[in-house]
Amino acid sequence: MRIKKILLLVFVYLSLVSHCFSQTLFSPDKKLKLSFLLDTGVPYYELKTGEITLIGKSRLGFKLKNAQDLNAHFVCTKSASNSFYEKWCPVWGEQDSIVNNYNELWVALQESTPLQRQLHIRFRLYNDGLGFRYEFPDQPSLTHFCIQEEETFFNISEDAKAYWIPGDYDSNEFVYQISSLSFLPDSMKIAKRDITSSTLINDHTVQTPLLLKKANGWFLNIHEAALIDYPSMSLTLSQTNNQFTFQTHLTPDPQGSKGRVQTAFQTPWRTIIATPDAKGILLSRLILNLNAPCKFENTDWIKPMKYMGIWWNMFVPNGKTWNYCDNHNIKIDQFDYQKAIPNGRHGANTKDVMQAIDFASLHQFNGLLIEGWNVGWEDWFDLQKENVFDFITPYPDFDINSISRYAKQKQLVLIMHHETSGSIMNYERRMPQAYQLMNKYGYPCVKTGYVGRLLPPGEYHYGQTFVNHIIRSIEETAKHKLMINVHESVHPTGLHRTYPNFLACESARGTEYEAFAFNKPNHTTILPFTRLVGGPMDYTPGIFQLDFKAYDPNSHKTLSSTLAKQLGLYVVLYSPLQMAADLPENYNKHLDAFQFIKDVPVDWRKTVILEADPGEYITVARCNKANNDWYVGCSVNSKARTSKIQLDFLSPKKKYVATIYKDDPKAHYASHPMLYVIDHKKVNSKTTLSIFCAPGGGYAISIKEINQ
């Protein structure tokens, strides 16, 4: 009897031991420590720096739909660790080479239940943060399944400051809020009074990238990398006493499933960038490094560019229209546009487009975007219409043959616009024919749009179906050697490393919101720490006519920026696709300031963060990849300040001349937004500059080497 009791105790002990497992991993510089553990069969992780806890003990796993959850009863069957170092060169970017250096821990888990399902977790720890993902190997007991919810937690452990936008399945075009985690639900209720979206999630869910500032000064950015064949992630906050924890909240499909999986499969990476100051968030390349290398052997056809467009004149008061006539309820395959009465305000007409080509060519821009060129805009914003656009038929007043020949003569490429009206199936059917048309006329880049609710009904912009659609559109454009810029898109997750023809996307409030809903002056001081962490944004800066009285004497609207700040945004908000968004007549009034837009590159050798405080100010310096010229951009919030920067990033023993485009002392975004001063000054690596920034202002500097 005694022997049986001893054997039973030994069995219980061995069972508990097999369900308890721990392993630690240090970053290459030994400053960050990851701990992974199985606590009675439940997987957890923790992230620390020294004795400081960055992410407290946080649970991992899945709730499954119509199946037993995959979040407990695990034993560790195998684990492995290794180190990795490489230096790779992006096709374009903020620097010409990137170091990918991490230590990795891989653990193989298996249930101790009769199902014996397997789940692997892979952790990669960098000097500036952590990435981890779930991997489902081929296995007989787990082949097809639906996720009810991913149970990935981020235990923040304290009442940190958060920079956030509300959780939503269809839009990330919101004003950023700043609040403590304890006040976030109340702040959400206040913010939602100005939001007209029916797909907001709840008062506790925010979108990623989410920026957090802890009491000890450390910054955390929580996001995801390599989002493929999986719904996008938001975060739901819960509070227990003084403990604050976020859990993943995946976007559902029409049946309420949050991811349909077929093994073998791996999820996107869950990312935590962790740095002791704000500058580190901006310099991190963790998300890029977690994406697969470039899929293309030849990338000569991928060319970053500056462009202008038939665009902003559709947003200003008394401006142009996308539609050719004012008829409604048009069926595209039955309406005779040749007999239609034009409204006289259509923007994409041959005469206006050729004039725009002249201006863009004169000032040596690379491209011209044309919106509203194709039939279907008369009644496109309609949930019941799946075939509004065919993407190949131009309006009667848009002579595509003559316009294309003229642009070629002027050595200017045209950017085609494909607004899908949210009908993703219609666009997928028509992609090959539309891209063949672009190849025929030499259009190297397309801007796609997905305004409104998606079709089929019930699908969301951030669901698995739409995520896969974006990948298909990127891959299909690549087959035709075309570049793509996606608006109304899911948030970017570093996929431009794998697909460098994916130049940019919108996925946040851009300049268009300045025309119909105010952005805050601090908006562009937050975007680099949040939205841009995942990838470049087509923000469309460069507005010079900032007072709308010029278009409508009764207007009381001014943009939330000074003119000098508009110049600075070309450096602050990185993109390989930068637009000079304003109208030619407004640039002609300020050709001295326009010179900076003409000069500033879109591809960089090196990036230096000179000063940064999210929500307050940001100043960035970048070196042109083509030569040794440097460019500096600054953006500040609604408070005036003096920016003091050292130019120690310049090469020693060399001399430069700096052209400084700055706010006039009387400038103010709300009253005198267009007052600016241009100074010229000889500088070197020992120079310190003090520059006044008006409320809502900023500045831009071009620094060019001189032989004196």
Neighbouring CB atoms inside 10 A of 609's CB total 17
For 129-138, what is each residue's pLDDT tens digit? 999 999 999 9
Output 4 or 289, whichever has higher pLDDT. 289
The whole-number pLDDT of residue 9 equals 37
Domain boundaries in the chain? 21-289, 305-602
**What whole-number distance in Å separates Cα of residue 381 and Cα of residue 324?**
15
The whole-number pLDDT of residue 679 equals 98
DSSP readout, 163-207?
EE-B-BSS------EEEEGGGHHHHHHHHGGG---S-B--TTEEE
**What whole-number distance in Å separates Cα of residue 110 and Cα of residue 682?**
66
* For range 262-276, the mean pLDDT: 98
Q: Which two tokens stand for residue 625?
A: 């990849």
Tell the CATH topology of 21-289: Beta-galactosidase; Chain A, domain 5 (2.70.98)
3-state secondary structure of 338: helix
For 312-356, what is each residue's pLDDT tens digit? 999 999 999 999 998 877 776 678 888 889 999 999 999 999 999
pLDDT range class, residue 192, cuts 50, 70, 90 = confident
Q: Give catalytic residues, as residue numbers.
A: 512
Q: Which two tokens stand for residue 182?
A: 């304890």
Q: Which two tokens stand for residue 594?
A: 């326009």
Q: Considering the entire predicted model, what is its pTM? A: 0.95
Q: Please report, in angstroms and rounded to a whole number, the separation of the first and last CA atoms in the chain.
A: 98
Instruction: Examine the pLDDT at 196 and tell me if it is beyond 80.
Output: no
Q: Which two tokens stand for residue 348?
A: 């994409």
For 2-25, what is each residue's pLDDT tens digit? 444 433 333 333 344 457 899 999
Architecture of 305-602 per CATH?
A: Alpha-Beta Barrel (3.20)
**Opening angle at CA 111, ends 110 and 113, nearest 5:** 150
- For residues 263 and 143, the answer to whether their CB atoms sit within 8 Å is yes
Length of the chain, please?
Answer: 708
The whole-number pLDDT of residue 8 equals 36
Phi, psi (degrees; rounded to nearest 5) at 563 = -65, -40
* For range 159-185, the mean pLDDT: 96
User: Given CA atoms 473, 424, 206, 541 in this order, what sign does their dihedral have?
Assistant: positive
Q: Which two tokens stand for residue 463?
A: 């669901």
Instruction: Examine the pLDDT at 479 and tell me if it is beyond 90.
Output: yes
* For range 415-442, the mean pLDDT: 97
What's the chain's average pLDDT?
94
Q: Which residue, chain included where needed, has tokens 């907001």?
A: 200
For 53-104, what is each residue's pLDDT tens digit? 999 999 999 999 999 999 999 999 999 999 999 999 999 999 999 999 999 9
**What whole-number distance in Å separates Cα of residue 395 and Cα of residue 654?**
55
Burial of 351 (0-12, 13-18, 19+ CB in 10 A): exposed
The whole-number pLDDT of residue 693 equals 98
Q: Which residue, chain included where needed, has tokens 């060169």?
A: 89
